[in-house]
Amino acid sequence: MGSMDPTELREDRDTDIEDDASRDPDASADAASTSAVSTGAAFVHPRWPGAVLLTAFVVIAADQLTKWWALERLSNGRLIDVVGSLRFNLAFNSGTAFSFGSGLGPLIAVVAVVISLGLWWTSRSMLKTSSLLAVGLVVGGAIGNFLDRAFRPPRAGTEDGLLRGAVVDFIDLQWWPIFNIADAGIVVGGILIVLLGGFGPPIEDEVEAAAAEEEEEIKEEDEVEADSDD
């Protein structure tokens, strides 16, 4: 019976791991993260920044299109009852999400951009694709409201100036401040980031355990090969 070199056994095992990773992006991220820690290199998720940017684009597009619809259909004071307490009711906000912090528009806009850029950059080390999508929700929501502050006119009776445009809100639950798609993206994305976690690379103990397990597998393969030679 022909024998196989231990090096070939390792190559076959590595090929199987790579095939599994290609079918599962998160498995690929885990493998890349472990490799990054063991080599001291910086880990970057294989779906970054594409997953974040695509999700952000979808949120921005949905936000701006629905705001355009609200301005077209609700500007005359019209209310549209949807289901239960949910209705569409046009309002303008110069503060934070959900109409808090009225009058702080310029400061809020700058802070939102800085946080979004920081979150986008740090998300490259996330281990889960779902976490990248959550970051995209937050970034898209922040940019959606920033566009309002930058390009829409200020709310009636408020001071004009840079980044003092009024954010368009129209989703009214009647038991919560009126909000928009961008607000929803920020809140839902933030909650998902906390719940999903997924920042990497893994802690050193996990990496050492994985390396020890791999070494044990190689040793067992070598023993099997030695027995077959006998």
Helices (H), the chain: 6-23, 25-39, 50-74, 105-122, 129-151, 181-196, 204-229
Both 19 and 88 in one domain: the answer is: no
Instruction: Name the pTM for this structure.
Output: 0.67
Both 89 and 195 in one domain: the answer is: yes
What pLDDT, on a 0 to 100 scale, did the predictor assign at position 42?
A: 62
Both 51 and 19 in one domain: the answer is: no
What pLDDT, on a 0 to 100 scale, did the predictor assign at position 68?
A: 96
Both 114 and 226 in one domain: the answer is: no
Both 34 and 101 in one domain: the answer is: no
Q: Which member of 169, 222, 229, 230 is catalytic?
A: 169
Both 129 and 223 in one domain: the answer is: no
What pLDDT, on a 0 to 100 scale, did the predictor assign at position 40?
A: 44
What is the four-CA torsion angle of 94, 95, 98, 100, rounded to 10 degrees?
A: -130
Both 49 and 25 in one domain: the answer is: no
What pLDDT, on a 0 to 100 scale, did the predictor assign at position 56?
A: 95
| Contact status, residue 27 vs residue 46, Cβ threshold 8 Å | no
Q: If you write DSSP's letter for every residue of 57-84 in order, what string do you get?
A: HHHHHHHHHHHHHHHHHHTTS--EEEET
Which of 119, 134, 110, 116 shows the shortest CA–CA distance to 189? 134
Whether 81 is a known active-site residue: answer no
Which tokens hold the place of 45? 């998720």
What pLDDT, on a 0 to 100 scale, did the predictor assign at position 171?
A: 96
Structural domain including 103 reads: 45-199
What pLDDT, on a 0 to 100 scale, did the predictor assign at position 76?
A: 86
What pLDDT, on a 0 to 100 scale, did the predictor assign at position 1?
A: 47
- Give the whole-angstrom CA distance, residue 55 versus residue 140: 7
Q: What is the mean pLDDT of each run of 10 residues along the chain (230 residues)?
A: 49 51 54 48 74 95 97 91 95 67 68 87 83 93 91 66 81 94 94 77 51 76 70
- Give the whole-angstrom CA distance, residue 33 versus residue 78: 53
Q: Which member of 183, 205, 222, 227 is catalytic?
A: 183
Q: How many domains does the chain have?
A: 2
What pLDDT, on a 0 to 100 scale, did the predictor assign at position 9?
A: 45
Both 125 and 168 in one domain: the answer is: yes
Both 173 and 211 in one domain: the answer is: no
Whether 183 is a known active-site residue: answer yes
What pLDDT, on a 0 to 100 scale, did the predictor assign at position 196?
A: 84
What pLDDT, on a 0 to 100 scale, did the predictor assign at position 203?
A: 45
